Structure 1
């Protein structure tokens, strides 16, 4: 028999830029279309720290709140009108922590059942919790927007980053030849995921375009960095058929270089389904694709080696804010 307690522990951000505090809250009751998940692990993202710092108004997550966007865990109760899950199913997803919806830094979460996918069988809860936001962002750019396919040359800016290393693997899984920018210190990691590494600090745009595409430009460029890197993308894309995608297309950019190449630009805003309710089922579909790739050995996660309990969630945030995290930071929630 599955016994669900009346209360749970959660790490709460009570005010902007104040430490997370461990508190007792009532265990949520799943509503129609929702399931109750016993959270095993919560994947943290730089966006989580920006929300806590009051620098992510687009996330619409007023404090006090339970933060944490990604989770992995086990279904322990079903709301009305849920037939795709059963109690005991191991699941993962990008389920809350924005738009006033409780996040994953709690022992239980009532989440929209359509946002979830089956956890890859051979991945741990920690590894699964590291995937959702990054993979969904990579997929929406490369597959939904740019329609990546075999025979293309794909350039990923920031190939060692949280989204970038997943974008590299996703493009390769679709048969593309992949290149990725990074630092000299990131070369081995980038090449380990199957991309040709480009040291952006020492190699001018024109030089790597000439070296890797004979001057033609890349078929798809995925920018995960923004700013000047997005501007450089407009100069490196293939004429007529090139497609630039960016997950950080904010700011002011001159589009003339892209227009002169008759190229295409697409933006990615991964939070939109959580904020609006539109397209949530597609997020579940994307993560089912991630599960399939992981179980085929074509997708793996890069975890920071530090371990944090729910009571130590503040330390996890501090690690991300320090810029010293060596991979995705995951909090072990289950006691």
Structure 2
């Protein structure tokens, strides 16, 4: 089969098309004829940082965490899927598990679900990582309830725009920080209330949006100083969830407000092999929401073929993308 191998890590990662043996599904695994994948920020971090990330595969490697396609074969003990089934999931591209930048890949059946019927199969690969991350943050970690005030930092980003929609669907009053009028328009279109964090101090938007009480749940997808702003923006006894916590912070304000801090490391089941079934169940619910027109993924105006993956990385690094970057692999 044809695959795009990452042959050299670095600021300008080097990919090359190579012929690889067809993979064979093991117990509990399926062989997927890949239709599409997508480029996530973590894919770019792996490609540029390599061994600096403990879960990054050694070069040469087949990257591509998200996948969509059709089951082309099943391993022993597979009960959830059969040949010919369409599937999507976040199922590879880390150490020991080749990803979706190839004509075929092997995946654990529990990481997969049937994709939305209303979406092009290749485009469905733009959903898994971002939707699972947002779902875990709001519901499994954050315990979001109807009527609560939710603040999403980075509301027009890949994970952020999923969180805005899921919060609206859950009946929350959803606010989201943005950095431009275009991103504000995205948040408004999804049912959220945008906050230009460059122009509005935290204390000011807490006063304007919550009467000075603070938000019940703050979801930080940015990290660094934004995590500190999350503590400032949360109400007393509020909850903060972050996907970016590899940094040092003064937790005095968190203590003073009796806040709870939760971390989402969405790739953990993929990396450790534990708890994978939850991801498949979340994706089944996500697909239903998409088909019911309650959830949509924002696609960038540019898409790429898998042989153009190096250019897709350069495009993302230039900061030109607005929405998820789709990468088609086969028809």
> How does the TM-score come out when normalised to structure 2?
0.96
**Structure 1: gaps (5+ residues):** 1-7
Do residues 36 (structure 1) and 31 (structure 2) align?
Answer: yes
Alignment-derived partner of residue 153 in structure 1 = 149
Q: Is the 8 A contact 1:59 1:271 kept in 2?
A: no
Distance 1:310 1:284 in 2: 25
Q: Is the 8 A contact 1:35 1:79 kept in 2?
A: yes
RMSD: 1.1
Do residues 16 (structure 1) and 1 (structure 2) align?
Answer: no
Q: Is the 8 A contact 2:69 2:122 kept in 1?
A: no
**Structure 2: gaps (5+ residues):** none
Q: Return the offset for 1:135.
A: 0.9
Within 5 Å, give how 1:193-204 maps onto structure 2.
Answer: 193-204=190-201
Q: How many residues are paired up?
A: 327
Do residues 324 (structure 1) and 320 (structure 2) align?
Answer: yes
Alignment-derived partner of residue 293 in structure 1 = 289
CA deviations 1:84-104 (Å, max 9, x no partner) are 111111110000001221011
Range with greater deviation from structure 2 (35-44 or 55-64): 55-64
Alignment-derived partner of residue 45 in structure 1 = 40
Distance 1:58 1:209 in 2: 38
Q: Secondary structure at the match of 1:125?
A: coil
Distance 2:273 2:114 in 1: 21
Distance 1:193 1:59 in 2: 34
Distance 2:306 2:133 in 1: 26
Distance 2:156 2:188 in 1: 10
Distance 2:251 2:57 in 1: 32
Alignment-derived partner of residue 309 in structure 2 = 313
Distance 2:288 2:55 in 1: 29
CA deviations 1:256-300 (Å, max 9, x no partner) are 111111111101101111111111111111111111211221110
Alignment-derived partner of residue 220 in structure 2 = 223
1:78 aligned to which of 74, 77, 93: 74
Alignment-derived partner of residue 134 in structure 2 = 138
CA deviations 1:213-240 (Å, max 9, x no partner) are 1000000000000010110110110112
Distance 2:198 2:210 in 1: 19
Q: Is the 8 A contact 2:306 2:328 kept in 1?
A: yes
> How does the TM-score come out when normalised to structure 1?
0.95
1:87 aligned to which of 60, 63, 83: 83
Q: Return the offset for 1:21.
A: 0.5
Within 5 Å, give how 1:89-128 maps onto structure 2.
Answer: 89-128=85-124
Distance 1:254 1:289 in 2: 37
Distance 1:188 1:268 in 2: 27
Q: Secondary structure at the match of 1:239?
A: strand
Runs of 4+ off more than 2 Å: none
Q: Secondary structure at the match of 1:105?
A: coil
Q: Return the offset for 1:184.
A: 3.1
Alignment-derived partner of residue 329 in structure 2 = 333
Distance 1:123 1:143 in 2: 25
2:187 aligned to which of 186, 190, 215: 190
Alignment-derived partner of residue 211 in structure 1 = 208
Q: Return the offset for 1:59.
A: 2.5
Q: Is the 8 A contact 2:36 2:326 kept in 1?
A: yes
Distance 1:187 1:305 in 2: 18
Q: Return the offset for 1:126.
A: 3.3
Q: Return the offset for 1:54.
A: 2.0
Distance 2:145 2:96 in 1: 37
